[in-house]
Structure formats: structure tokens, C-alpha cells
Structure 1
Amino acid sequence: MSGRLHRADFTPPAGLANCHVQTLLPRLLPRRRLPHRWECLTLPDGDFVELTWVTPGPEDEAAPLFLLFHGLEGSFASPYARELLGSATDLGWRAVMMHFRGCGRAPNRLPRAYHSGDTADAYWVIGQLARRYPRALKVAAGVSLGANMLVKLVAEQGGDGLDLAGAIAISAPLDLAASADCLQQGFARVYQRHLLASLKTRAAARLDDFPLALDARTLGALASLRDYDDRVTAPLHGFRDADDYYRRASAGRWLGELELPTLVLHAEDDPFMPADLFARLPAPGDAVHVELSARGGHVGFVEWRGGRLRSWLARRVARQLREWASTYAPTSGRRTGARGLHS
């Protein structure tokens, strides 16, 4: 490792190092129970997003706040969501997940959906949280699609454009075209079929509302995520085609320009991405700390600790939250000390 690429301290359990085992294992483990409540937020364009808050939240309005963005077709029910939100809650943080449009309990109102480069809703929600909790330290984390979106948002807004002390990107598909290609190879096609089936089911229910030259039969015949993005995602959200969408929405090109402290966690064997992903991207800037692990799969990172299988991601994120909290003065609403990250 060189520059700002660092070796993560993740070690997979013996016999569970395979990338597909790591990717699928979190779905097989018991899921943490987290009491929660839902909130519907109306957006400026009349549509809405749903927030899920872990309850009970801290009584102190200045308690730090952890905001999570899920991955493609994810939700509060996703295994990583319970682990990451629960880990923040254990530290005394206020924890909340924003569901992208249509990914909560109800279909969204407008004839559109969500995508990897759709930063406007997240920006607006962060602004709402800033008004509610002006004295609280805030950290946002994104997983997979949500991680690419978050990196793009941080790049767009600069160092002071968001009321965030830091951002955490987990298993981010920072080169969307390369990721689409990887998902058409070998066993990764299993993940593609699962995601594609979910996307097509959601789109089929809204097909009469969507301004698309697409009927149910053609939608059902789409054979890859690239096909889906070409016929649904791109035209629905103002892109020329899938290639135009991938080019404009991929956040990797901005790694060298991020000004907000950003932690990037990634496994080199992630089946959703090429092994040389970071060799294809610009060198990370001063504010970015990339931790690479040889193993871990896609949003896997399951370790053996304390006599059972546990989420290394939750442990690593908790360590970062503690570090950022230690450099924050809630009475002034400003960080103190270094802005950077440490391994």
C-alpha cells in the first residue's frame, strides 16, 4: 500500500474467506433487533422519502447523529443496516436511515425512482437534520449504491457545504460501468439476477405511471442491470443511455478532490467490482483515507470475535465514530483538533 491506500485490519474466519461466502454470510446470521419508528418527509418537489429512527433516541439534542444510506434495493431490513445503526446507538448516537424514493413502506408519488448519482434528496435531508439538531456532530455513511451517492454528494458540496463532520463509504461501486460488467461474470450473475428481479418487480408496478417506451413484456425480458439502466434508469432520470448514466453518476473520479474527511472501506475481492478498482481511479486526496482488505466480499466483512461471527464493518465504523466524536466540541458546533483520519 502507498499514498492514502491503507491495509484494513479485517481477518476472515478460517474457512469463510471466499468472497461469495463473505457476501452472503450476513444474510444467514441472526439479525439484531432494533426498536424503531418511521417518519415520512415531504420533499420540495412533492414526493417523499421515509426515515427510520432507532428508538429511543438520546434525550440530549446535542447528541451526535449517524445517518445511513442503503444500497440498491436495500432498506432498514438489510443486515448491514441493523449492525451499523445498532453500533452507533450503542455509542449513544442518534441513528437514522434514509430510504431512497420508493424503498420504504410505500411507493413514491412521482414518475421516477432513484439511482447511484441522485444526491438531491440526501442533501435536502441533511439540511433538515441540521435545522433540527444544529449543535449535534453528524456523520453520514453509505453502503454500496448509497456509498457512491454519498461520495458524489461530498464532492459536489465541498468541505463546508454539508453539516457533516465526516463521511464513510462502504463497498462503493465508484466505477459504475466496471461494476455492471463485473456483475455479468461468473457467480456474480446470481447477485445480478436477484437485484434485477427486485428492480423489475418495482418498475412493473409503476409502468403505467412511468414515461417510458417500455411494455411489461419488454421489461421482463431485460437480462442485465446494464439493460435495465439503459431502458429504465437512464430515460427515467434524464440520462441519454446507460453509458451516459454511468459516466455522470460514478463518484470515483472525484476521490482526489474531496475536502470532507472521508473513510472508504473496500475489499479487493468484492465480486461487484474489478480487483484493480483503485488503480483505475485518481489518487485519494488529503481528506480521504482508503482502507483495502484482500478479503471481505461485497458488504460482507464477517469476522470471528468474542466467540461468534460478528460484523467487522460495525466495529470499524464504531471506531471511526468515536474518533470523530473525540475531536468535536458540541457547545460551539465545531470540530477541534485534526480534520483527518487515522488507521
Structure 2
Amino acid sequence: MLYQAPWWLPGGNLQTIYAALRSKRYLAEAPSFSRERWTTPDDDFVDVDFARHASADDAPLLVVFHGLEGSSASHYAEAFADVARVRGWACAVPHFRGCSGEINRAPRAYHSGDFEEIDWILRRFRRQHAGPLFAVGISLGGNALMRWAGEMESAAGEVVAAVASVCSPLDLVASGHAIGRGFNRLVYTRMFLSSMVPKALKKLEQHPGLFNADALLAARDLYAFDNIFTAPLHGFQNTDDYWSRASAKPHLRRIAVAALAVNALNDPFIPPASLPQAADVSAAVTLWQPPEGGHVGFPSAPFPGHVRAMPEAVCGFFAAQVEAAQNQHHG
């Protein structure tokens, strides 16, 4: 991916924060979505938002898995939906449990390695859509998606034509500790906990005794939050067990479907030394590691900055996979 940051946005933090708060996400009108509620195998629900723009029945469907505390209103979700519209593709944003504006019912939420959830969601899309299926995961969603692709190995190709992760913490241990330090702790950690803690407390109201409320309220970083809430609710012993077992990086060599991993080298959350290199991935995985872009930023000039550069690059990768498959078939 060839990416050049605007001169007026130097550094990973500015590229991250500007993209989330100030950037332009679409060319004409804002994407609008219609919502479907899907019942999960454990009798809970997830809400899936479908972009309302027109597409042919056999056009590709782009599935966007959001990041930590994200939704279809996130800047990257709107940008991907608009890029899909221009290409004539359908687009859907499934919400991880508790992220659609309504608390889910089960005594669980969502986590970075939730590949079982990814699996049933993608298989349902596969059953109901005639055209090729592309899946992109942003940050946490991308780690879970790559974890799924590694678990499925060659079977992933029966469900999707290609997958991509964008700014994903593929080594959760390295990224988890990085977000708990310095500026990251002051700004990003505080922002995430401001929505995660109230949602966890609502979960405790639903299911009394699920965890210790005082311990949760004392949490000042994601490590502590995950130790009290995320890890035990999802079958992990503690944060260390969760972060190590949920990380996608050790599984990237098993991926057999076309996959793209995009990570900016100045991402404030993800230490560059923790990123996968060629030796860590299978031949099916393409690594794009541009020097700049921030965390799910990639704002592009001219002012005011758009955030379409990254979605357009990812969708270009997807389109090339279908084209290559068609040429191989006809050849």
C-alpha cells in the first residue's frame, strides 16, 4: 500500500485522532443502514446493519467487522460502506455483542479472539448471499477474523473469497501493554473504559454475581479490565491467558485463503517490533506496513482529509483476488 500522510498531520496520534473525529468519510451522502437482528446459537442476538445502497444480487458482499467499542457509525465503517457503494458492492456491518446500542442478553460480551462468533456470522452471510464474500476486520475485529482464517485453514475458502485485517493487534500481549502506557493510557485507554465499564456494570445487573463491581471500578487499564471481565466471562483464566491464546499472529502461517494484513508502522497502539514479518505468515498472506497512517487513520490530502485511501486499497486487493480466480478459471 502506497500511502502518504498529509503534511499538516504529522505523527501517529494526530493521524489516528483526526481520522476518527474530523475526517471526511464519504463522497456524497452519508451511508444509511437497515438493521436485522440475528439470533445466535446460544439464544442471544447480534444486530447486523446492511448499507441501503443498490447492488446486484450476485455482486460481492463486503462484511466489515468493527474494532473495540466500534459500530456501523465508526468512521471506517462509513468509509468502507461508501467505497462499496461506488463499486456496486453490497456492504454489511455485524455488531459484536453489546455494540449496537442495546445490551445483549447472555452473560458474555465479545473479545479479540472470538473466531467462533466470526464463523457463524460469515457462514450465515454465505448462505444468504449469491456473490463473492469479502470480510475485513478493523483492529480487534481484524485479529478475530485472522484468528478465524487460521483456524479454518483451507475451509475458509468455502466461505469467503478473501479477508483483510486493518491496524489489528495481531500480538495482543505487545499491543495490550502498549495501550496501557503514557499518552495511550491517558487518552485512548480512558476513552475505551468510559464505555466498557458502564456496559459491564449493566451486564452485572442482568447477571448478579458475574464479577466484582468494586474491582471493575478500580480498573485503570485494559489489562485490569480484561482480568476482571473479558477473560473470565469468555473462558480464559486471566488477561495473560486471554491475550496469548486469542492472538492471531501465531496462526498466520495456517491461513490458506487470500489475506491482507495492513498495519501502519506509526500506529500508537501497536509496537512495530510486534508486527508479523514474511517468515511469520503463509504464502496466502500479504503484508502491507506503510510508515504512516496511525491507528485506523490513513487520512489523505487535500484538506479536509478523507479516510478513503485505506478502504479503497483494501477493496482493490479484494477485487484483484476475484479477478485472479476468474482468470484462472477461464485459463
Q: Which category of TM-score, normalised to the shorter sequence, fits these structures?
A: over 0.9
The equivalent of 2:46 in structure 1 is: 49
Give % identity. Answer: 33
Q: How does 1:268-287 map to 2 (within 5 A)?
A: 268-278=265-275, 282-287=279-284
Equivalent residue letter for 1:128? R
The equivalent of 1:303 in structure 2 is: 300
CA distance in 2: counterparts of 1:166 and 1:98, whole angstroms = 17
Equivalent residue letter for 1:13? P
CA distance in 1: counterparts of 2:224 and 2:63, whole angstroms = 32
Equivalent residue letter for 1:256? R
Q: CA deviation at 1:106?
A: 1.6
The equivalent of 1:86 in structure 2 is: 82
Q: 1:132 to 1:213 in 2, by over 3 A?
A: closer
The equivalent of 2:230 in structure 1 is: 233
Q: How does 1:64-213 map to 2 (within 5 A)?
A: 64-133=60-129, 135-161=130-156, 162-189=158-185, 190-210=187-207, 212=209
CA distance in 2: counterparts of 1:198 and 1:274, whole angstroms = 25
Q: CA deviation at 1:81?
A: 0.6
Q: CA deviation at 1:21?
A: 0.3
Q: 1:89 to 1:335 in 2, by over 3 A?
A: farther
CA distance in 1: counterparts of 2:276 and 2:259, whole angstroms = 19
TM-score (norm 2): 0.92
> Aligned with 2:62: secondary structure?
strand
Q: 1:198 to 1:105 in 2, by over 3 A?
A: closer
Q: CA deviation at 1:165?
A: 0.6
1:92-150 CA-partner distances (Å, limit 9, x unpaired): 101001100111132111111000011122211211111112x3111100000000000
Q: CA deviation at 1:234?
A: 0.8
Q: 1:16 to 1:154 in 2, by over 3 A?
A: same
Is structure 2 residue 44 aligned with structure 1 residue 23? no
Which piece of structure 1 moves more, 158-167 or 100-109? 158-167
CA contact (8 A) 1:19 1:296 kept: yes
CA distance in 2: counterparts of 1:41 and 1:283, whole angstroms = 36
Equivalent residue letter for 1:225? L
CA contact (8 A) 1:252 1:281 kept: no
> Aligned with 2:317: secondary structure?
helix
> Aligned with 2:34: secondary structure?
strand
Which piece of structure 1 moves more, 28-37 or 81-90? 28-37
Is structure 2 residue 255 aligned with structure 1 residue 262? no
Q: CA deviation at 1:37?
A: 0.2
> Aligned with 2:256: secondary structure?
coil
CA contact (8 A) 2:40 2:46 kept: yes
More strand by percentage: 1
Q: CA deviation at 1:328?
A: 4.9
TM-score (norm 1): 0.89
Unpaired runs of 5+ in structure 2?
Answer: none
Equivalent residue letter for 1:44? P
The equivalent of 1:242 in structure 2 is: 239
Q: 1:108 to 1:213 in 2, by over 3 A?
A: closer
> Aligned with 1:276: secondary structure?
helix
CA contact (8 A) 2:122 2:159 kept: yes
The equivalent of 1:9 in structure 2 is: 2
Q: Please, what is the CA RMSD of the aligned residues? A: 2.0
Q: 1:106 to 1:264 in 2, by over 3 A?
A: same
> Aligned with 1:51: secondary structure?
strand
Equivalent residue letter for 1:87? V
1:317-340 CA-partner distances (Å, limit 9, x unpaired): 2322331342355xxxx97489xx
Equivalent residue letter for 2:124? Q
Unpaired runs of 5+ in structure 1?
Answer: 1-7, 339-343
The equivalent of 1:341 in structure 2 is: none
CA distance in 2: counterparts of 1:234 and 1:165, whole angstroms = 32
CA distance in 2: counterparts of 1:119 and 1:319, whole angstroms = 25
Q: CA deviation at 1:71?
A: 0.2
The equivalent of 1:251 in structure 2 is: 248
The equivalent of 1:4 in structure 2 is: none
CA distance in 1: counterparts of 2:183 and 2:253, whole angstroms = 33
CA distance in 1: counterparts of 2:103 and 2:313, whole angstroms = 34
1:24-79 CA-partner distances (Å, limit 9, x unpaired): 01121245411210000011110111100001342x32111100100000001111
